[in-house]
Homo-oligomer: A and B are copies of this chain.
Amino acid sequence: MTSSTSAAPGTAAHDFAAQLSRYAELLVRVGINLQPGGNLLVNAPLEAAELARLVARSAYRAGALNVTVRYHDAQLGRLKIDEASDEAVAHVPSWLPDETLRMIDDGYAFLTLDGSDPDLMAGADSSRLALSAKLRAIVMKAVSEKMMAFEVAWCIGAISVPAWASKVYPELGQDEAVSALWRDIFRVTRADTPDPLAAWQQHIDRLGRVRDQLNARRYDALHFWDPAGGTDLTVGLAENHVWCGAEDRTRCGVRIVPNMPTDEVFTAPHRERVSGVAVASKPLLVRGEIVEGLRVRFEGGQVVEASASRGEATFLKLLDTDEGARRLGEVALVTASAPVAQSGRLFYNTLFDENAASHLALGRAYEFTFGGDPAESGGNDSLIHEDWMIGTASMNVDGVAADGTREALMRGGEWAGETLKL
C-alpha cells in the first residue's frame, strides 16, 4: 500500500476525453467516495490541471461544498536542494501541517494525483536530500498518522506526465509515451471498461474474499521462497495482525479505496521475527534515486546485510534514518497475473509497481494493520515507509501456523486454490 496531467489522446481524442472523465468520476465516487456536503482537497502536480478540473466538476456535481486544489511543482524541491543555503535546506516551516490538520478536523477528503519524474533528484546531493526528507517527515508526522488512522477519506491515483511516461516507455516519443501510460492507467483502474463502477465492485469483492480468508487463518508467519529469484525469507506476523486490502472504512464509516489501482492484500510483520534473504525483483526508487540488484539479509527482524548493484549508498543511508528503518512495517501479497504485472513494464512508481508484485516495506507499519496496540503487538515504527518488490512468477508462499503446520498460499506467483477460495 502506498500513502504518499497533461492530456494526450491515445486513440481518438474523444475516447481520451471520455476515459479521463470516467477516471475522474471513479476517483471521486469510488476512491474517496465523496459524500454530499463534503469537502475535497486535491494534491496535484502542475501537469494535472485538466484532470483536477474534471475531478472538481465531479465533486461539485456530487454535492461538494468546497474543492481546493493544491498544485505542486516538484522542480522547486530540486531547486532548493541545489541552490539554497545549508540553513535553508534544514528549515521546514513549522506551519506546514497546520492547514492540512485543519482540513482533517473539517472532515475533508484528500485525493492525491501522483505523477512525477523518477529522475527528478538524480545527481542531487544525497545528504541534503535525506536531511530535508527526514525533517519534513517529522513536521508532517501528525498528518500522516491521522491519514493512516483513516480519520478522513483519502485516495491516491496516478496521472501520466511526460517525464514519467518517457521513463516507462523510453522507446517512444514523448507524446506517444504519455498516451501509452494513460492507456495503462485507464486499464489498471478499469476506466476503459463500459461500467467502471461495477467492475470495481467485482474486483474489490474478490480481493476482499482473499483478505477475509487470510484473517480467518491467523498464521504465525509467512515463508517466501523463490528458487529462481533467490528469496528465502520467513516473515513473522505481528500478534493481532489484520490483513487489509481492497477497501477501507474511515472513522465515519465511509467505504474508500485508498489506492487506485490496488491488487494487494497486506498486513503487519513482527518487528523482531523476520529472518532470511529477500532479493528485490524490481528496481526501486529511493528519494529519487534508482536502487537496482538489491539483496537484503535479515536476522531477528533487522537488516544485517544489504547490497545493491546500483544506488547502494542511498539505500544504506535510508536504513540509517532511524532504528525502525532497518525493520519491516508491511508485507503484501500480489499475484503475478495482476493487471499491472501483466504489462511487464517497470513503472518506477510505487503505486504501480507495488501492485505488480508481492512486496515488503521497511519502516512504519500502518496502525490499521493491527487489532490491538501496534507497539505491544510487535509492530514497527519509523519516519520512513519504503516499499520494495520481491514477487515473481516463480514465487511460492506458505502460511505457517503457530504449531509449525504449513498451507500453500501462492504457487508460481498465483493464489493456491487448495487453500484459498476466490
Contacts and interface: CB of A to CB of B under 8 A. Distances in A.
B46 A60 contact: no
B53 A65 contact: no
Contacts of A95: 99, 102-103, 106
Interface stretch (A84-92, A174-182, A193-201): A84-92
Interface string A76-100: 1001100111011001010100110
Contacts of A52: 73, 76
A419 interface: no
A90 to B, nearest CB: 9
Contacts of A295: none
A64 B39 contact: no
A64 B49 contact: no
A79 B56 contact: yes
Contact of A93 (B46, B68, B75): B68
Interface size class of A (residues with CB under 8 A): 35 or more
A66 to B, nearest CB: 6
A63 interface: yes
A71 interface: yes
Given A91-B65, A102-B95, A60 B80 contact: yes
Copies of this chain per assembly: 2
Contacts of A102: 95, 98
Contacts of A39: 93
Contact of A60 (B63, B68, B85): B85
A79 B79 CA distance: 33
A56 to B, nearest CB: 6
Interface in A147-172: none
A333 interface: no
Contacts of A49: 46, 73, 75
Given A75-B53, A76-B53, A76-B69, A84 B98 contact: no
A362 to B, nearest CB: 29
A67 interface: yes
A14 interface: no
B71 A83 contact: no
20 contacts: A49-B73, A52-B73, A53-B75, A53-B79, A56-B76, A56-B79, A56-B80, A57-B79, A60-B88, A61-B83, A63-B85, A65-B85, A65-B87, A65-B88, A67-B80, A68-B93, A93-B106, A95-B102, A95-B106, A98-B98
Interface of A: 37, 39, 46, 49, 52-53, 56-57, 60-61, 63-69, 71-73, 75-76, 79-80, 83-85, 87-88, 91, 93, 95, 98-99, 102-103, 106
Given A65-B87, A69-B76, A95-B103, 9 more contacts: A46-B46, A49-B73, A53-B76, A53-B79, A56-B76, A56-B79, A65-B91, A66-B88, A95-B106
